[in-house]
């Protein structure tokens, strides 16, 4: 059976009522003329389709007519066409019309008009376009002297829109539990309940693989300074790295990654860290270091501000590991176990909340566009499954040493 032939484009000079197929054919022909650079003929075809009874078709025709007029240097007529799109009502052409009007306002030096138009565009934009528009709004509000508003827009462009992020919740919970344990008379109870007691883990208290991250320092007299330093360093590291991971992967994935890295670090300590109980979130934080380092090298997220910091992590990791080997009482096994877990997850899991070089594609006019990475469900299942298997194997292998 032969495929149906596309409708023949009607003669745009012929008057009379258009059928739907004819109107759509005129739109397609106008788009082709735009792509080939024949802007005058494109304008003729779009003009012929204006007034069709379907508002969606007329709006698309006005949008194309504005583009043709803009390419012909008729800026005022182009803006008038785009504004006419908005008078029709909400259609799929409303979003690009608002964006075009915003860009025209910037060229005219009307920054207030541009901000208003970009705000309207942002409300209608698909999720992949919103960060770009937020950044444009950030630069415009900065030019208007509103630095605080600009920071809010730039944060929105990075994806930092949550009032209370997972990173903030983790930091708050860790600080509250750690300070209570360090400063209160009941602190010893918290250490006995939450620390990575290797014998208790061997006897089945597996929750300690994660609760260890909530404790720092020691309740013993004379250890207040080192305890606060330990807590402060780890929370500062989490404050720096946590929001980047959350921006790249989202809050829920960040939490899962944090817990997986904590488990990897705790099992490494259980196997190789000696019989002394351990405390601290260092294993999980080294996991975040490894995750960012591997994801940056393998997947190349398009997040310039964050990548400048991530590039420095390799040096920071080496310094901290060397420091750990040179100082007594530091559980380097947890650091290395968390780091290995993070490197594995970072290599396997592409960031899903920011664009990557692999997700970008180039239009015919040379403009880079892109969409967020879509990771098949099988990949995180495999990545986390390997970590889970390693944790179970580590527990099985290390338990005889403590229960014998």
Shared-domain flag, residues 196 and 68: no
Q: Are residues 140 and 182 in the same domain?
A: no
Distance CA 111, CA 117 (A): 10
Distance CA 121, CA 275 (A): 60
- φ, ψ of residue 356 in degrees (nearest 5): -120, 165
In this structure, what CATH number is given to the domain that contains residue 339? 1.20.1540.10
Number of domains forming the structure of the chain: 2
pLDDT in the model for residue 386: 97
**Contacts with 124 (C-beta within 8 Å, 6 or more apart), sequence order:** 94, 95, 98
Q: Is residue 39 part of a domain?
A: yes
Q: Is there a single domain that holds both residue 319 and residue 282?
A: yes
The Cα–Cα gap between 191 and 178 comes to 9
Asked if 125 and 272 sit in the same domain, the reply is no
Last residue within a domain, chosen from 113, 131, 158: 158
CA 63 centroid distance within chain: 32
> 3-state secondary structure string, 293-344?
HHHHHHHCECCHHHHHHHCCHHHHHHHHHHHHHHCCCCCHHHHHHHHHHHHH
Classify residue 147: in a domain, yes or no: yes
182 in a structural domain: yes
Residue 5 lies in a domain: no
Q: Domain boundary at 158, 189, 211, which?
A: 158
Q: Which of 88, 89, 83, 51 shows the shortest CA–CA distance to 66?
A: 83
Q: What angle do CA 289, 294, 295 make, to 5 degrees?
A: 100
Cα separation of 367 and 70, whole Å? 18
- Give the residue numbers annotated as catalytic, written as ranges: 282, 335
Whether the CB-CB separation of 54 and 63 falls below 8 Å is answered with: no
Model confidence over 240-261: pLDDT tens digits?
899 899 988 988 999 999 999 9
Inform me whether the pLDDT recorded for 385 exceeds 60: yes
Average pLDDT for 131-151: 84
> Residue 192: beta bridge partners?
none
Q: Are residues 36 and 142 in the same domain?
A: yes
Q: Which of 265-274, 288-297, 326-335 is predicted least confidently?
A: 326-335
CATH number of the domain enclosing 39: 1.25.40.10
Are 359 and 298 part of one and the same domain?
Answer: yes
Containing 234, the helix (H) or strand (E) segment is: helix 224-249
Separation CA 168–CA 176 (nearest Å): 12
State the pairing for strand pair 360-362/368-370.
Answer: antiparallel
More confident call, 345 vs 332: 345
Q: Residue 173 above 60 pLDDT?
A: yes
Q: Is residue 15 part of a domain?
A: no
* Dihedral-angle region of residue 261 (phi above 0 means left; psi in -120 to 50 means alpha; beta otherwise): alpha
Model pLDDT, residue 155:
72
Q: Which two tokens stand for residue 119?
A: 């705000």
State whether 357 and 236 are in the same domain: yes
> Contact at 8 Å (CB) between 154 and 138?
yes
Domain boundary among 138, 158, 178: 158
Angle at 119 between CA 114 and CA 125, to 5 degrees: 115
Q: Is 348 a domain residue?
A: yes
pLDDT digits (tens, 9 = 90+) for 267-289: 999 999 888 899 999 999 999 99
Burial string for 200-211 (b: 16+ CB within 10 Å, else e) reads bbbeeebebbbb
Chain segment 223-246, per-residue pLDDT in tens: 777 788 889 888 998 998 998 999
Categorize the per-residue pLDDT at 404 as very low, low, confident or very high, splitting at 50, 70 and 90: low
Q: What is the pTM of this model?
A: 0.64
Judge if 143 and 238 occupy the same domain.
no
- Residue 279 Cα distances to 218, 219, 304, 396, angstroms: 9, 12, 35, 22
In a domain, 394, yes or no: yes
Distances 127 to 47, 122, 123, 257, 269 between C-alpha atoms, Å: 32, 9, 10, 24, 42
Return the percentage of the chain with pLDDT > 70, whole number.
88
Q: In which domain, by residue range, is 194 found?
A: 166-403
- Helix, strand or coil, per DSSP, at residue 202: helix
- The lowest-confidence range among 13-17, 22-26, 90-94, 386-390 is 13-17
Does residue 30 lie within any of the structural domains?
Answer: yes
Contact status, residue 258 vs residue 287, Cβ threshold 8 Å: yes
């Amino acid at each position: 059976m032969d495929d149906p032939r596309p409708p023949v484009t009607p003669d745009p000079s012929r008057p009379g009522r258009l059928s739907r197929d004819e109107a759509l054919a005129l739109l397609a022909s106008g788009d082709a003329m735009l792509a080939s650079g024949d802007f005058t003929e494109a304008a003729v075809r779009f003009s012929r389709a204006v007034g069709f009874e379907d508002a969606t078709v007329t709006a698309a025709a006005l949008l194309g007519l504005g583009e043709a007029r803009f390419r012909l240097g008729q800026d005022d007529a182009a803006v008038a066409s785009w504004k006419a799109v908005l008078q029709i009502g909400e259609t799929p052409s409303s979003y690009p019309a608002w964006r075009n009007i915003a860009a025209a306002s910037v060229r005219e030096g009307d920054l207030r008009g541009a901000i208003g138009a970009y705000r309207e565009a942002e409300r209608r934009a698909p999720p992949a376009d919103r960060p770009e528009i937020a950044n444009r709004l950030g630069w415009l509000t900065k030019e208007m002297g509103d630095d605080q508003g600009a920071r809010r827009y730039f944060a929105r462009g990075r994806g930092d829109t949550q009032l209370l992020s997972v990173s903030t919740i983790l930091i708050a919970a860790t600080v509250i539990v750690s300070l209570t344990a360090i400063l209160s008379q009941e602190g010893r109870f918290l250490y006995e309940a939450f620390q990575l007691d290797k014998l208790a883990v061997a006897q089945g208290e597996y929750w300690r693989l994660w609760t260890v991250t909530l404790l720092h320092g020691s309740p013993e007299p004379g250890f207040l300074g080192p305890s606060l330093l330990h807590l402060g360093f780890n929370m500062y590291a989490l404050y720096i790295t946590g929001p980047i991971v959350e921006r790249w992967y989202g809050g829920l994935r960040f939490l899962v990654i944090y817990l997986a890295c904590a488990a990897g670090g705790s099992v490494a300590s259980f196997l190789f860290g000696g019989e002394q109980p351990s405390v601290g979130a260092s294993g999980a934080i080294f996991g975040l270091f490894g995750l960012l380092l591997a994801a940056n090298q393998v997947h190349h997220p398009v997040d310039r501000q964050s990548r400048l910091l991530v590039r420095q992590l390799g040096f920071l990791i080496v310094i901290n590991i060397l420091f750990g080997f040179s100082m007594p009482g530091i559980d380097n096994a947890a650091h290395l176990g968390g780091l290995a877990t993070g490197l594995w997850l970072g290599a396997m899991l592409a960031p899903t909340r920011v664009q990557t070089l692999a997700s970008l594609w180039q239009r015919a006019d040379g403009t880079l566009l892109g969409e967020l990475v879509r990771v098949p469900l099988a990949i995180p299942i495999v990545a986390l499954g390997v970590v889970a298997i390693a944790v179970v194997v580590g527990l099985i292998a290390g338990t005889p040493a403590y229960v014998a």
